[in-house]
Amino acid sequence: EAGVAQSPRYKIIEKRQSVAFWCNPISGHATLYWYQQILGQGPKLLIQFQNNGVVDDSQLPKDRFSAERLKGVDSTLKIQPAKLEDSAVYLCASSFGARGYGYTFGSGTRLTVV
């Protein structure tokens, strides 16, 4: 079974620029999650999709971050404009359903904002 695919693997941008990350979950997984992991900390949930609907985005900085999940499959996370404190690893995960079974993470995108 293919895992959760993420791209790009690394990205370096200047502050105030925009950036987008892409995630392709495991086939059949209804729930998709985006996490932000700052160095030395645990992952922090940014947004959770159930199929193509948002069920939790309480920790998403909506003034600069946006996310969508097209047709309940692939998802993109965008930051515009980026700040220095956005430097982190952005992790995508997916699971069978809302109960989290089959929880699988992608390899992440390491973002550096300079």
Interface ranges with other proteins (CB under 8 A): 33, 35, 41-45, 48, 50, 55-56, 89, 91, 93, 98-101, 103-105, 107-108, 110
Strands (E), 10-108: 10-13, 19-24, 31-37, 44-50, 53-56, 65-69, 75-79, 88-95, 104-105
E strand or H helix at 65:
strand 65-69
